[in-house]
Structure 1
């Protein structure tokens, strides 16, 4: 059971090729990318790999071209939307590195960078062990539910259907 739900934009995704446990298995890069392609638009990411992991990093051009508009659009459905729209003005005319650093330094009150170190199965795929970092634009407390994979999958799909902005295909949810 988790206490908080986070909705964010995945800026970095790392997937372990080896899955341990009772169903030990080694995934190929193609298998991993095929599984992720159902949840993320891989064209938004630079992809790299080594013998242990496959890594995806959101392209700078995507952050610079689409992030502001996406956050602005999403803010209309959030309780503090007016305040969020006012503070994301600080993102204008910045490059991707500056924008990410602002989130990491908590320059904004409502939106921040989430780099929790977790590698685990998620609703995104029950076979893969994922580590995700990203820009959290919604967090809500005291979500106490036992079976949440279908609920999270539903919310994830709603976000992706709700807008034409391509950064929608980089969103994810997690319960912490």
Structure 2
């Protein structure tokens, strides 16, 4: 696999997808062609944007050529792009490597994945920022998932939901 150094630091996949129905008529997964394009910055995070999935949704990515999979989380919404089914995934090099994709374009399947339930118990000295950093999420997400306001202090022993 030949990739330039710049390409290895931050990857963006642009996928053109169509729905593949399951036997019961429900959407099982989306299949399409992904194209690797150079990202603007290296965040070291799995960044996923999809206009039809809510923020926080965990999705699976599968390379149908070899059956290898990885996961990513929706962290932002796309601007209104019309009726087409474009999906932009900005993923870490590790997630890309897990798919063993070759070339600038490759087939990809995207499917829903059940999010695991994580509860964090606040320890002495922890802040919302330190907890968010530990789980690679934002302070705003912790506040949203737990109904916390700006003026709501943490308590030692308090239990926080880390996923919606």
Structure-2-length-normalised TM-score: 0.22
The structure showing larger relative contact order (alpha-carbon pairs under 8 Å, at least 6 residues apart) is 1
Task: Work out which of the two has the higher radius of gyration on C-alpha atoms and give 1 or 2.
Answer: 2
